[in-house]
Structure 1
Amino acid sequence: MSAFRDRFNRLRGSVGAEAEGAVPAAVEIHTPEQILDGAPAGEAPEAAAPPTSDHAVPEQTALPEWEPYGVRLVRHEAGEFLLKETRFPITHRHGIHAFTEWTAAAPSLAAFHGDELVIGPDPCSADEMQENPPVPHDVLFLDLETTGLGVGAGNVPFMLGISYFEGNEYVVRQSLIRHPAEERAMLADLKDRLPQFRYLVTYNGRTFDWPLVQSRFILNGFGSRVWEPLHLDFLHPSRTIWRNTLVSCKLSRVEEERLGVFRQDDLPGSEAPGRYFAYLADGNPEPLADVFRHNEIDMLSLAALAIRFGHLLAGHIGQEVPVPTEPEELVRTGLWLEKMGAVASAEPLLHSVRGLDHAPPSVWNRLAERDKRLGLWEEAVSLWRKSAAAAEQTGIPSTEAHIELSMYFEHRTKEISFALAYARAALELALQHPLSGRANSKRRKEIDALRHRIDRLVRKAAKS
C-alpha cells in the first residue's frame, strides 16, 4: 500500500506547491494502467483557470464502468471529477429519528457556544448565531475519506461527502477524484456551493476534516478565506455526555447506542484508503462501492445526531428523546444543557440525580462540584456525604468527597473533629488498594498529601 501511496503523492505534481491565490501549474495525469505498469504519462493538460463569479451548471455524463454504482462524470469549468448524488425523502428514518424532525430541532442548535462552537475570526459570530438561529436549509454536513491521517500536504481527500436539506429531501453529494489532477475541480465545485450555507456540522471536523479542506483550498490556489462558517463539531458534546457511559465515542458506537443505527457489513473507515489505492492500481471501481456506502451512512448519521442534540436543547427530553437511565449520563446531560443555557431542560435532570438512592461516587461529586461553584454549600455537602458513603460501602478508591468534606469542616464551619474524621477515612480508603502500574507516583502523592493534612489537623485539634 505504501508503494501506491508514494506513486499517488508523485502524481500530485506541482499542484500542492502553488502559492496562495496563484493558478496551479499543469500536472501530469496518469491512467490506472500507467500507475500499475509504471509507464510514462502523456502530455500534461493545460491548467484550468480559476472559476469566475458566474459559474455554469456542471455537465454530468454517464460512464459505463461507474453506471451500476450511480456515479457520473462531472465536467466543471475547472476540470472533471466523479459524483454520486443520492436524495432521501424528508420522511426517511435513520435509526430512531426521522428527517421530518429536523425543522423543529434545527433552531435550538443556536444554543451552542464557547468550546462547543468554532467561529471564524469575527468574535461577534456567537452572538450572530443566537440572533439568527439555524434554519433547516442553511446547514451543511461534511465528512471526508482521505489517503491518510493528519492535515499535512501529503494527505489528500479522495472522497468529499457533503449533505444538506433541500425542499422535501435530504441530499447527499459524494465527490470522488480518479487522480490528483481532479482535486481542483472537486474543490471548485464545493467552493461554488458553500456561500448558500451559514453553518457547518461535522464529527471531529474541528481538528481534521475542515482544517484539511482549508489546506487543500490553499494548495489549489483558492486562498485561505473561502468560507468562514459557524462550525458545530458534534464529537465534543458527544464526549461530554457519553464519555463514561459508552465504550467509546466513535460515531459508529454513538449510532448503535443512542441513534438506533446498526451498520450491516460496513467497511471500517481505516480500510477506505486501501480500497482507493487498489482502484488507482487497476481502475476497477467495485471496491469503492463499500467506501461510498460507508461515507453515506456517516452523512445520514450526522443529520440524525444534529436532530438528537437539537431535541435535547429544545427540551424535548421524554418526548422526542428518551430520558437517560444511567446516572452518569443523566448528570452529564443535565450539566451540559445548563452550560448551553438550556436551564429549563437541565433542571428536571439534575433534580432526578439528587433523588437517586444509589449512584457511583463520580455522579454525586460532579453535581456537588457544580453546587460548590454556585455557592450552594448545603446541597454540595449533602451530595459529598452520599458520595463518601458510596465509596466506603463499595470499596471504590474515590477520596474526592472525603477531602472536600474535610476542607469544608476545617475552613468553613471550623469543626476540626469532623475534618479530621473525614481525612482519616480518606487515607484508610486510599490504603485499601495496593499501588500498581503507572498510577504509583500519583497515588503516592495523594497519600502523602492526606498524611500531611491529618498531621496538620491533629495539631489544630490539640490547640483548640
Structure 2
Amino acid sequence: MTSPFGTAAVRQDVIPLPRLDPDPGSVAYIDTETTGLGGGAGTYIFAAAVATPIDCGLRVAQFFLPEPGMESAFLHALREELERAESLATFNGGSFDLPVLRTRWVMARMPGELSHAAHVDLLTLVRALYRHRLETCTLRFVEERVLGYERDDPLPSALVPEAYFEYLRAGSLDFLEAALEHNRLDVISLVHLHSRLLLRLNGAETGMDAADWLALGRHRFRRGAKADGWRALRNATSFAKGDASATAGLLISRRLLRRGSIAAADRLLGWLEASVTEDIRLSVARARLLEWRRRDASSALSVVEAALHRMPDQAPDLEHRRARLRRKLASGRDSRRKRQSRQIQVEAFIGDSPL
C-alpha cells in the first residue's frame, strides 16, 4: 500500500464469519503487537491487525513494520484504515494499544487522535461481567472459559516481541509468521467476544445464575441504565439462595429505602432472610430497618435473636446488637413507667384539690 511516506506492508483477506447474534454493528477491531509492554517513546508497534465485519464475512487487514525506518508509512496506513471505522473495539486498548498508537503518531508528526471518539474496551466488559467466574482475564483464558474454544496458537504472547527482534537480527521469517498469525487470531477472537458480551449485556444469554445477574446489574447501574440494572438485580434475587442473591436483595432494599418504600424493603428482606438462612447480612439489615425506619425495637430484637438461633457461629457479631436492643427496650419501659407514675400523681392531685 502506497502512502505519502512510502510503501506500507499490508496484507488483507476475507474469512468466513457466521452470522453474529447480536450483531455488534460497524466496528473496527484492532490488536497490536509491540516491542515491549512498558509503553512510552521507546516502544514500537511492529504489527497491527484490523478486523471489520462486512457482508461476505470478516475482512482482516494486517499491517507490518519491516524496519523502524519505515514507521511513518506503517502508521499512516494504519491510521487511514482506522479512520474509516465508526467505532473501535480493543482488548485492553484503553490502557495500552491506543496510548501507544497516540505516542507513535505524535512522534511521527501526525494527529494523535482519531476523528471518531467511540471506543469499547472489551477487557473492561469482561472484568465487569465475568470476573467472578475467571481466575484471570487474559484473552487466551477468556477464549477458553467464555467463548468455549482452545486456540491452536503457534506462538505464546510472551515470545511475540522476540520473534520481531529475531527477524530484524537474522531475517527469521518462520518465527515472524508465527507472531503475525498470533496477532491475526487475537483480532478474530475480539469479534466473537464482542458479540458474546452484547448477549450478556442484553440479559439474553442462557444459563445465567444469580452471580451473573448480580454482575450485570451492578454494571448497568454504574453505566446509568437503571431500568436494566433493576431487572438484573431482581433476577439475581429471585434465585433466593447463595451469597449473590442475598447481595442483590440488599442492593435492592437500599434503593427501596432511598425511595421511601420501607414496607417493600422490609418484605423483601424478610422473604430473603427466610430463604437464605445463613447470611447474617440480611438479618442485620432487617434489624436496622425495623429499629430505625419503623421504630420497632422489639421486632428488631426478635430478628436478631432468631438469627442467633440459626447462626450460633455468628454470635460475636450479633450479641452486641442484641444487648443494645435489650437496653433500649428496658430504657423505654422505664420511661413509660415514669410517665405513667407522673400522670397518676397529677390525676391524684387534681382529684384532691378543692373546686
Q: What do the CA deviations read for 1:266-310 (whole angstroms, capped 9, x no partner)?
A: 532222112222222211111122222222222111111222233
SS of structure 1 residue aligned to 2:104: helix
Equivalent in the alignment of 1:409: 290
Equivalent in the alignment of 2:37: 149
Question: Residues 250 and 366 (structure 1 numbering): CA distance in 2 closer, same or farther, change over 3 Å?
Answer: farther
Equivalent in the alignment of 2:63: 175
1:195 paired with 2:83, answer yes
| 1:374 Cα deviation from its structure 2 partner | 3.8
What amino acid does structure 1 have at the position aligned with 2:69?
Answer: A
Contact 2:211 2:236 in 1 (8 A): no
Q: What do the CA deviations read for 1:40-81 (whole angstroms, capped 9, x no partner)?
A: xxxxxxxxxxxxxxxxxx2xxxxxxxxxxxxxxxx4331344
Tell me, in whole angstroms, the C-alpha distance in 2 between the residues paired with 1:405 and 1:244. 27
Question: Residues 417 and 346 (structure 1 numbering): CA distance in 2 closer, same or farther, change over 3 Å?
Answer: closer
TM-score by length of 2: 0.78
Equivalent in the alignment of 1:105: 23
- Bigger share in helix: 2
SS of structure 1 residue aligned to 2:23: helix
| 1:165 Cα deviation from its structure 2 partner | 2.1
The equivalences for 1:130-279 within 5 A come to: 136=25, 138-279=26-167
Question: Residues 283 and 372 (structure 1 numbering): CA distance in 2 closer, same or farther, change over 3 Å?
Answer: same
Tell me, in whole angstroms, the C-alpha distance in 2 between the residues paired with 1:419 and 1:378. 11
Contact 2:266 2:289 in 1 (8 A): no
Tell me, in whole angstroms, the C-alpha distance in 2 between the residues paired with 1:285 and 1:215. 28
Per mean C-alpha deviation after superposition, the further-off stretch among 280-289 and 265-274 is: 265-274
Which protein shows a greater Rg? 2
What amino acid does structure 1 have at the position aligned with 2:282?
Answer: A
Match of residue 213, structure 2, among 308, 320, 330: 330
1:370 paired with 2:252, answer yes
Equivalent in the alignment of 2:351: none
Tell me, in whole angstroms, the C-alpha distance in 1 between the residues paired with 2:99 and 2:89. 13
Question: Residues 88 and 265 (structure 1 numbering): CA distance in 2 closer, same or farther, change over 3 Å?
Answer: closer
Q: What do the CA deviations read for 1:415-455 (whole angstroms, capped 9, x no partner)?
A: 324545666858964578xxxxxxxxxxxxxx6xx776566
Match of residue 5, structure 2, among 50, 54, 78: 78
1:462 paired with 2:327, answer no
| 1:345 Cα deviation from its structure 2 partner | 10
Question: Residues 456 and 80 (structure 1 numbering): CA distance in 2 closer, same or farther, change over 3 Å?
Answer: farther
Contact 1:88 1:169 in 2 (8 A): yes
Q: How many residues align?
A: 322
SS of structure 1 residue aligned to 2:31: strand
SS of structure 2 residue aligned to 1:148: coil
Tell me, in whole angstroms, the C-alpha distance in 2 between the residues paired with 1:367 and 1:288. 53
Tell me, in whole angstroms, the C-alpha distance in 2 between the residues paired with 1:345 and 1:423. 31
Tell me, in whole angstroms, the C-alpha distance in 2 between the residues paired with 1:275 and 1:340. 44
TM-score by length of 1: 0.61
What amino acid does structure 2 have at the position aligned with 1:412?
Answer: R
Contact 1:334 1:346 in 2 (8 A): yes
Equivalent in the alignment of 2:347: none
SS of structure 2 residue aligned to 1:105: coil
Contact 2:63 2:78 in 1 (8 A): no
What amino acid does structure 2 have at the position aligned with 1:87?
Answer: V
Tell me, in whole angstroms, the C-alpha distance in 2 between the residues paired with 1:254 and 1:353. 23
Equivalent in the alignment of 2:236: 353
Contact 2:237 2:248 in 1 (8 A): no
Tell me, in whole angstroms, the C-alpha distance in 2 between the residues paired with 1:211 and 1:307. 25
**Is there any run of 5+ residues in structure 2 with no aligned partner, and where?**
258-263, 333-355
SS of structure 2 residue aligned to 1:276: helix
Question: Residues 387 and 78 (structure 1 numbering): CA distance in 2 closer, same or farther, change over 3 Å?
Answer: farther
| 1:460 Cα deviation from its structure 2 partner | 1.9
SS of structure 2 residue aligned to 1:171: strand
Tell me, in whole angstroms, the C-alpha distance in 2 between the residues paired with 1:297 and 1:337. 30
Q: What do the CA deviations read for 1:359-399 (whole angstroms, capped 9, x no partner)?
A: 322332134313421445145414651576134xxxxxxx4
Contact 1:144 1:157 in 2 (8 A): yes
Contact 1:140 1:197 in 2 (8 A): yes
Contact 1:218 1:224 in 2 (8 A): yes
Tell me, in whole angstroms, the C-alpha distance in 2 between the residues paired with 1:346 and 1:410. 26
Contact 1:384 1:405 in 2 (8 A): no
Contact 2:236 2:248 in 1 (8 A): no
**Which structure has more RCO (C-alpha within 8 Å, separation ≥ 6)?**
1
Question: Residues 323 and 198 (structure 1 numbering): CA distance in 2 closer, same or farther, change over 3 Å?
Answer: same
| 1:456 Cα deviation from its structure 2 partner | 4.3
Q: What do the CA deviations read for 1:199-246 (whole angstroms, capped 9, x no partner)?
A: 111111111111221121111111333434211112222212111122
SS of structure 1 residue aligned to 2:252: helix
The equivalences for 1:287-366 within 5 A come to: 287-313=175-201, 317=204, 321-324=205-208, 326-336=209-219, 341=225, 343=227, 347=231, 350-357=233-240, 359-366=241-248
| 1:259 Cα deviation from its structure 2 partner | 1.6
Tell me, in whole angstroms, the C-alpha distance in 2 between the residues paired with 1:279 and 1:383. 66
Question: Residues 342 and 407 (structure 1 numbering): CA distance in 2 closer, same or farther, change over 3 Å?
Answer: closer
Tell me, in whole angstroms, the C-alpha distance in 1 between the residues paired with 2:314 and 2:107. 55
